[in-house]
Structure 1
Amino acid sequence: MSVADTPPVAPPPSLGKLFWVFLVMGATSLGGGVVGYLRTGLVVRQRWLDDLSFVELLSISQTLPGLNATNMSILVGDRLRGGLGALVATLGMCLPGASLMIAAGFAYGAGGDGPWSKAFLHGIAAGAVGLIVVVLVQLGAKTLKTVADYVFVVLTAVAVAFFKVPVPYALIVAGIVAIWWHRPRDKDVP
């Protein structure tokens, strides 16, 4: 489905529905693959955002400190229902994870170095990587339009993975170069 084929955006939800949807997403999402899960929930199922708005909010959330899921819940909640919506969405997103982390902390203290615990964590990690790849393909197909865009992605990934450039520095440099590259080139444009 292309951006042009995206269904129309639904009207803003009630605060109760906003809390419930983020509570369910917070309770059923795992690890780094949460971005794809958020897109499916917010763009495809609920139709609260279109793909362009989702990518814009995701870009903002990734430049802020903290978890993408929490940042997205704040930004989406604010966009849909203002400050109270941001609070409700954030509570919904964070409550399940906080509860599970408290329980996991107690369980890990009682035997977390066992082979079953390690096998479970390796399985979750593999699933999260798969979800990240799916999101990369889905969002990349919608937002990367030119060969230069793909070059920026590859160079940023190489800088971080192989040359150990800190992510914020890599993003700042890539952002500056990409802005310069995509600048309006018509002499009549101010």
Structure 2
Amino acid sequence: MTDQPPAITAPTPPAGATKRPKAPLGEIFLTFLIIGATSFGGGTFAYLHNSLVLKKNWLTEDDFLAALSVSEALPGLNAANMSIIVGDRLRGIPGAFIAFLGMTLPGALFILALAVIYASHHDNPWVEKALIGVGAASVGLLASIALQLGKKQFSHALDLVVIAVTVVMISFLHISLVWVLLTVGPVAYLLFRGHTKKSRGPHGHSVD
């Protein structure tokens, strides 16, 4: 009687590791296509949060905030950066490409059509009022997503200080975003280096 070879078992994932969610490429493309076709300006992140976190459950609040922070810090279109990050998380390089394509395709087609229309009607007061209305809607959407994420993530006094300094530097002192990132970024890292997730709850609340 010969000895049987030991059975090969799949390695057990380390404790606390999160399994990468699997989503069909077609669903990823359609989701980002709808977001790209129905969102406006900076309000895109409100649509991204609603679809990716609340509806699809592809990201947690912490995952979304981390992806948002990286996409804001990198050069290029923030929404495009976000689509690449999320697509790669869901399905690797193919997911990143499909998500980017879905996110940018509607805007590219719409802007071509709007450019032709605007070139011949840019003096029309109704066109100017419509653009003002779209801008106001974008501000409202940005405020909405800031409140949704802020009430869960920015519960520490130090968070509010960093936010206030950043707002003053950009909105009132009109300092370039590049210089703000190069100055506030390293300082924030040093300040928050000791504030690990051990001292915070699952949604970013302090448990001290």
TM-score (normalised: structure 2): 0.81
The residue type equivalent to 1:87 in the other structure is F
Q: Name the structure 2 match of 1:97.
A: 107
Task: Show CA shifts across 1:23-58 (max 9, x none).
Answer: 011101111111111001100011111111111111
Partner of 1:52: 62
2:142 aligned residue (127, 132, 138): 132
Q: Do structure 1's residue 184 and structure 2's residue 194 form an aligned pair?
A: yes
The yes-or-no answer on 1:164 pairing with 2:174 is yes
| 1:33–1:128 CA contact under 8 A, matched in 2 | yes
Q: How many angstroms apart in 2 are the aligned matches of 1:10 and 1:184?
A: 28
Amino acid at match of 2:152: K
Shift of 1:172: 2.6
Q: Does residue 33 of the first structure (1) align with residue 46 of the second (2)?
A: no
What residue number does 2:75 align with?
65
Partner letter of residue 118 of structure 2?
Y
Give the distance between the partners of 1:87 and 1:181, measured in 2 at CA.
Answer: 36
Q: 1:10 to 1:25 in 2, by over 3 A?
A: farther
Q: Which amino acid aligns with 1:18?
A: I
Question: Partner residue of 1:5?
Answer: none
Could you say what the CA RMSD is over the residues aligned between the two structures, in angstroms?
A: 1.7
Q: Is the 8 A contact 1:77 1:88 kept in 2?
A: yes
After alignment, is 172-181 or 25-34 more displaced? 172-181
Percent of aligned pairs with the same amino acid = 42
Is there any run of 5+ residues in structure 2 with no aligned partner, and where?
1-17, 196-208
Distance 1:9 1:94 in 2: 28
C-alpha separation between the residues in 2 aligned to 1:184 and 1:58?
22
Which residue of 1 is the match for residue 13 of structure 2?
A: none
The answer for the alignment partner of 2:95 in structure 1 is: 85
Q: Hey, what's the Cα distance between the residues in 2 that align with 1:11 and 1:79?
A: 8
Whether the 8 Å CA contact 1:9–1:47 is kept in 2: the answer is no
> Across the two proteins, how many residue pairs are aligned to each other?
178
Displacement of 1:162 after TM fit?
1.3
- Higher mean alpha-carbon deviation, 18-27 vs 168-177, is at 168-177
Aligned residue among 52, 58, 74 for 1:42: 52
AA aligned opposite 2:102: G
Cα distance in 2 between the residues matched to 1:89 and 1:168: 27
Supply the AA of the counterpart residue of 1:98. A
Q: TM-score, normalised by structure 1?
A: 0.89
Q: What is the distance in 2 between the residues matched to 1:172 and 1:152?
A: 14
Cα shift readout 1:123-164 (whole Å, capped 9, x = no counterpart): 000110111111111111122131111011001110111112
Q: Which runs of 4+ in 1 moved over 2 A?
A: 8-11, 182-185
Structure 2 CA distance for aligned equivalents of residues 56 and 29 of structure 1: 21
